[in-house]
Amino acid sequence: MLKLQSPPCSTYIRGIVSQVLCSTGPARAPSPDLHSQPPGQIQPGHHHGSRQGTITGPPPSATSTYLAKAPSLDLQASIPGPPTRAPSLDLHHPQPPHPALAPSLDLHPQPGRVTMPLKPYTRDKDSSSLLRWDEVPDDFVECFILSGYRRLHLTAQECLASIFQPTNETLNFWTHFIPLVLFLSKFYQVLFLAGELPFHHPALLPLWCYASGVLLTFAMSCTAHVFSCRSLRLRAAFFFLDYACISYYGFASTVAYTYYLLPRLDLLDPTVMTPYLHSLGWHRVDYSLLLGVYGELVLPVAFVLAVTCTVACCKSRSEDCSYPFAIRTFVFAMPLSMACPVMIESLLFDLRMKNPTLFVHFYRRYFWLLVAAFFNVSKIPERIHPGLFDIIGHSHQLFHIFTFLSIYDQMHYVEEGLEHFLKAPATYHLPTFSGTVGYMLLLTLCLGLVVRTYLKGLTNIKQN
């Protein structure tokens, strides 16, 4: 089976189910001894001071009376492995094993391990029926999510219909589709209706880049969550593209910061920082030269970070990755370092008084991002109660909500920076096509090559 995700999730869920069945299942009754002493006698156990023993042949009423008083004897306590159903007392009609306790499917059986032949995944006539975690490929299993899985190989129409059904992907879609519509309306107003400049004016090029990053991120996330059950290869392709769009958005944010946000900071104004450095005794520092180097490197460094993050996230879906969610969260936090000048500005100068809009929305955005990262890594609340939050309330839905809130706050101070940029165009350099859209097109090409490379690698693994 082609595996795109870290295998411990399905194994960990199997252990959780076993523990739940052990702790909540019925008490184990002692096995009857059919070849023992005459009725009514009890064979004592071999433990000193214990009352354990085996009842042999008493009448049914006597057996019930004895079982109500004496502790049960567990003859399989020393046998390791998953819990098993108590043996049926009806020798002519034995009970079938519980479905959750059936032997696990294993493509690579080990000596002494019970395995079952893998059945091909076929499309059920009732596409609305949902499956449990042990009825889908391991690549589809999410940690601590036990039910609500869709069948593999659904048609496109069935995938679209599933967004109106209670599956574990339904709210994953809606928590990004609704923000997509809201941001689409917002960008349309800003670019076409609000200002006096035409939509193709060079001053709006960074906003076009930023808008494309936001909208592509939400659109690709919705697409991935809806059509991920079409096939294993399409599932991999959609999520690789999802990672690429997130990196694209991170770079687009840096482009908007470079033109609308950073030039307004005292930290990047040599007329303010040079006297400040002289007051600290740093007389030999050529701050104008440092700012020139920073201005030349900020976009190329952000470009390299975007490609690196995409490579790391695609790599995190391989089998040998132990902590995929932590890795993805960390690598996507790397582009946030491009906003460090704003943090330094708030430490050195009174940013709250000078620019309250930027101060409030900037730090609230990073608070939402920290909360989103917490849910994405911890897998709370489904970790606390597996199975309870399969449809509503699991961590990925909360991750989507807080991510939307962070981008919503970011949109506020980007729009405010645009208004200030349009009021004082003479002091700023107008954006160029090559410095904005040209960068975005080149990044799109590089990210496409990364996704194509990893998809080709998965195809080779599957063929081998």
Known binding residue 394? Answer is no
Task: Please give the backbone phi and psi of residue 53, each rounded to the nearest 5 degrees, phi first.
Answer: -170, 180
The DSSP bridge partners found for residue 149 are 131
Place of tokens 């009352």: 51
* C-alpha span between 410 and 415 (Å, rounded): 9
H or E element that contains 314? helix 287-315
pLDDT tens, 364-417? Answer: 999 999 999 999 989 999 999 999 999 999 999 999 999 999 999 999 999 999
Contact predicate 332/372, CB 8 Å: no
State the Cα angle at 287 between 283 and 292, rounded to 5°.
155
Residues 6+ apart with CB under 8 A from 432: 202, 205, 438
Joined together, the tokens standing for residue 182 give: 């809201």
* C-alpha span between 421 and 414 (Å, rounded): 10
Q: How confident is the model at residue 10 (pLDDT cuts 50, 70, 90)?
A: low
Q: How confident is the model at residue 5 (pLDDT cuts 50, 70, 90)?
A: very low
H or E element that contains 44? strand 41-44
pLDDT for 322 equals 72
* C-alpha span between 102 and 104 (Å, rounded): 6
CA-closest candidate to residue 421, choices 272, 294, 261: 261
Place of tokens 């992907």: 169
pTM of the prediction? Answer: 0.72
Known binding residue 429? Answer is no
**306-341 as b/e: b if 16+ CB within 10 A:** bbebbbbbbebbbeebeebbebbbebbebbbebbeb
* C-alpha span between 211 and 205 (Å, rounded): 10
What Å distances lie between residue 431 and 192, 196, 396, 434, 436, CA to CA? Answer: 19, 18, 37, 9, 7
pLDDT tens, 274-299? Answer: 998 988 888 888 999 999 999 999 99
Contact predicate 251/194, CB 8 Å: no
State the Cα angle at 26 between 23 and 32, rounded to 5°.
125
Q: Which of 28-42, 238-252, 441-455 has the lowest mean pLDDT?
A: 28-42
DSSP conformational letter for 189: I
User: Sign (positive/negative) of CA torsion 449, 450, 456, 460?
Assistant: positive
H or E element that contains 345? helix 340-348
pLDDT at 149 over 90: yes
State the Cα angle at 227 between 225 and 233, rounded to 5°.
105
Known binding residue 35? Answer is no
pLDDT for 131 equals 95
pLDDT for 315 equals 86
State the Cα angle at 259 between 253 and 261, rounded to 5°.
75
- The verdict on whether omega for the bond into residue 381 sits within 30 degrees of 0, i.e. cis, is yes
Place of tokens 């007389």: 283
Largest CA distance in the chain: 107
Domain positions in the chain = 156-263+297-463
CA-closest candidate to residue 147, choices 332, 17, 316, 1: 17
CA-closest candidate to residue 84, choices 135, 128, 26, 36: 26
Distance of CA 38 to the CA centre of its chain: 63
Could you tell me what percent of the chain has a pLDDT over 70? Answer: 69
Mean of pLDDT over the chain: 78
DSSP 47-79: STT---EEEES--HHHHHHHHHHSPPP-TTTT-
* C-alpha span between 148 and 184 (Å, rounded): 31
pLDDT for 284 equals 86
pLDDT tens, 340-357? Answer: 899 999 988 888 898 999
392 versus 30: the higher-pLDDT residue is 392
The CATH architecture assigned to 156-263+297-463 reads: Up-down Bundle (1.20)
Tell me which amino acid residue 203 is: A
Place of tokens 């904005």: 436
CA-closest candidate to residue 411, choices 362, 347, 460: 362
